[in-house]
Amino acid sequence: QQMLARIRISKQSLALVLRTLSLKGINDEYGHTVGDIMIASLAKVIAKHTRSNDVPARLGGDEFAILMPDTDKRGAFALAQRLWEELEQAPMYEHEGLRVMLSVSIGVSGFPWGGEDVDEMMHWADSDMYANKVSRRLPRTPVSTSEQTLGEDSGPEDFHRI
């Protein structure tokens, strides 16, 4: 809420990337120690792909978010794609021949292009996550600037498809 208030005053953009992991199944099958190691591995991947002013947070359970100040749609989708590729394609835990992979769903939203307040941004990011989970597809880039300039969206429905 505080970051969004500062962003509004300075007329900047803010992107929100949400992700859910398949930790319950991992904890059930391999134990909480492996789940904790995978969360630590996730933190390293996030640190590798984010800037110093981005704010990663664990929202609880299997859900995580990254707030990215001064980030437009293209930047948000680029981060979502990099995270999805690395998290889905490399094991997050390896020990004595056991390789455990994560199943990740990612959703993207932002201000002003994907919501006017935190609740609306979370709603659209959740919708993106669900669509990604159902389709099991890589997050795709929004409409190119040659077709439509950033900020000319007619509404969230033009953007929130993963």
What's the rounded Cα separation, in Å, for the pair 67 and 153?
Answer: 21
Give the pLDDT score at 3.
Answer: 67
Residues forming beta bridges with residue 15, ordered by sequence position? 68, 110
Per-residue pLDDT of the chain (162 residues; tens, 9 = 90+): 676 676 666 666 667 677 777 788 888 999 999 989 988 998 899 999 999 989 898 888 888 888 888 888 888 889 888 988 888 888 888 888 888 888 888 888 887 777 777 788 888 888 878 887 766 555 544 433 332 323 333 333 333 222
CATH topology of domain 2-150: Alpha-Beta Plaits (3.30.70)
Q: Could you tell me which residues come within 8 angstroms of residue 86 by beta carbon, excluding any fewer than 6 positions away? A: 45, 48, 49
Q: Closest Cα to residue 108, out of 54, 41, 42, 156?
A: 156
Tokens standing for 14? 């803010």
15, 7 Cβ separation under 8 angstroms = no
